[in-house]
Amino acid sequence: MKRFNTEGACNPSENYMVDLTERLRQIKGLIDQGKYFSINRARQYGKTTTLSALEQFLQPEYLVISLDFQFLTHENFKNEHAFVSAFVDNLIYALPSDHSLDEDVLDNLQKCADLETCGLSKLFQCLSALCKVSDKPIVLIIDEVDSATNNQVFLDFLALLRGYYLHRAKRPCFRSVILAGVYDIKQLQYKIRPEEEHKTNSPWNIAADFDIDMELDQKGIQKMLSEYENDHHTGMQTDQMAGLLYAYTSGYPYLVSRLCKLMDEKIAGTREFSDKTAVWTREGFLEAVKMLLLEKNSLFESLINKLVDFPQLREILYSILFLGNKVAYNPDQETIDFTSMLGFVKNDNGSLVISNRIFETRLYNYFLSNEEISSVLSGAGIADKNQFIQDGKLNMDLVLNKFQIHWNELYHSADEKFVENNCRKFFLLYLKPIINGTGNYYIEAQTRNNRRTDVIVDYRGIQYIIEIKIWRGNEYNERGELQLADYLEGYNLSRGYLLSFNFNKQKVIGSREIVCKGKKILEVVV
């Protein structure tokens, strides 16, 4: 029986996975043109799975030599001979069993590796001879290439590879070269220590653009779920489930597979979700989201570690999440370029945004957790928590009214600019401990700015939409009511919440219920 896989490369005979055929066709198109390119994508983004499938896809027309630098050690890079020896050993091991290469050429290659005086120049002479006698064009693939970039031997290897590739009309060379890793070949400076930055001076400008989408689209996810459904007969609505998976992950391969794996293996069979039929529902999906956001994994650890290592990145993400600032996407800005490469942010019509809803909520939780311990509002939320749950449901009316009381007790005389810059954070500090462990929340990116924010809360299968905004006068407030009513219509909800932070001295604090375009709205003014 197939399983969802989040550990290493996926195999279509063993794992449920999205069909890669169209992606492989597009990559083969670059190879047919003889391109030299790098596939650089974030960690756990399906690179190794794609390369493994590509090797099989190319075999009828090409001899594929697929290497993984993950298997090379620090000792293999201490000098040229050590690298040549390790490279040749891995190359010969990687040759397909049915290759038709001349044994004499392979023997010469092995002898080259065995000679202590053999260096990179001799290696490439032997590789050129190998390419010359091959019946098929040779494609060289090197995975985890960035694991080796912090040393001179590797950079010298790349320089020679580049030279032979550029002059392949005179000196036979590989038909195509693919370098795969997190870091682009053009961005090696991120992997090199500051005192060795001179190593980046070599021109790596031959790498062709690789613009092929590696995200999973909703249609592809649905096909994968349909295969699962054919095996398990859960009765799930595959189109709706695929829509949920895409909405929360934006097609990030690891996150899609991880959520599916949690539903299939961890949640099905629990008290709340007795079998697979019960779990492949919206409620089961939200339970998987909650579980994912609470778990510790290498992907999230990498995200948080980068916030520690790059304080400027931390400042940018905080300003986007809590201040509603628009940050222009600029590939020439080092921190933005680096973070985009790692997959944590992306370019959305010229603005920098968090890549997906899962990353965004994890970041909100991270920033909030640093303040929860000392936050009076967070303490109030913990103290009030039990009174908000009635018959297993969250009484959001009471949550908003209680927040209003605590706010006016604690911050009635606070500096206006300070509050204006932190109002969404204050509300989330109060809300988070109330729903923690049972519910989820996220911020609707389309409405997140310095004047308006929509917080969507999922609690035991029920959704609540709270619009947070700064009071800008009656006319602006009425527009906010209309916007919220339209938003509720889109979510097929009849009730919503409007939390207004009003700094007028003559303001009237409290709550009132209004009806706008047939939708009931509880408006709370603090």
Structure token pair of residue 373 = 């311990």
Q: Which residues pair with 393 in a beta bridge?
A: 390
Give the tens place of pLDDT for each residue, 428-485: 999 999 998 789 998 886 655 555 678 999 998 899 999 998 877 776 677 888 889 9
Q: Which of 248, 496, 438, 236 is nearest to 356 (CA)?
A: 248
As a whole number of angstroms, the distance between CA 371 and CA 139 comes to 52
* CATH number assigned to the domain comprising residue 197: 3.40.50
185 & 36 share domain: yes
287 & 309 share domain: no
60 & 169 share domain: yes
**Whether residue 106 has pLDDT greater than 80:** yes
Structure token pair of residue 281 = 């529902």
Single out the residue in 242, 260, 294 at which a domain terminates: 294
Structure token pair of residue 69 = 């630098």
Structure token pair of residue 372 = 């929860």
Split into its structural domains, the chain has a count of 4
Residue 202: what pLDDT? 44
| Residue 254 C-alpha from the chain's centroid | 8
Hey, how many other C-beta atoms are within 10 angstroms of the C-beta on 55? 17
H or E stretch including 463? strand 462-470
SS3 459: strand
56 & 187 share domain: yes
**Whether residue 99 has pLDDT greater than 90:** no
pLDDT above 90 covers a percentage of the chain that reads 49
222 & 190 share domain: no
Q: Judge whether 473 lies within some domain.
A: yes
Single out the residue in 249, 274, 294 at which a domain terminates: 294
96 & 155 share domain: yes
R_g of the chain computed on alpha carbons: 28
Single out the residue in 257, 275, 294 at which a domain terminates: 294
158 & 262 share domain: no
Q: Judge whether 370 lies within some domain.
A: no
Contacts of 239 (CB under 8 A, 6+ apart): 222
Residue 201 phi/psi, 5-degree rounding, is -75, -20
Give the tens place of pLDDT for each residue, 146-195: 776 557 888 888 889 988 998 998 899 999 999 888 766 555 544 444 44
237 & 134 share domain: no
Q: Judge whether 501 lies within some domain.
A: yes
Q: Judge whether 352 lies within some domain.
A: yes
Q: Judge whether 208 lies within some domain.
A: no
Q: Is 4 left (phi over 0), alpha (psi -120 to 50) or beta?
A: beta
Mean pLDDT of the chain: 87
**Whether residue 236 has pLDDT greater than 70:** yes
CB 11 within 8 A of CB 209: no
Q: Judge whether 13 lies within some domain.
A: no
111 & 174 share domain: yes
Q: Which of 195, 198, 119, 187 is nearest to 153 (CA)?
A: 119
Q: Judge whether 14 lies within some domain.
A: no
195 & 309 share domain: no
Edge-first strand order for the sheet with 495-501 is: 439-443, 452-459, 462-470, 495-501, 519-525, 510-516
In eight-state DSSP terms, residue 217 is P
49 & 193 share domain: yes
Structure token pair of residue 181 = 């890793």
Q: Judge whether 280 lies within some domain.
A: yes
The model carries a pTM of 0.88
150 & 243 share domain: no
Domain range for 474 is 375-525
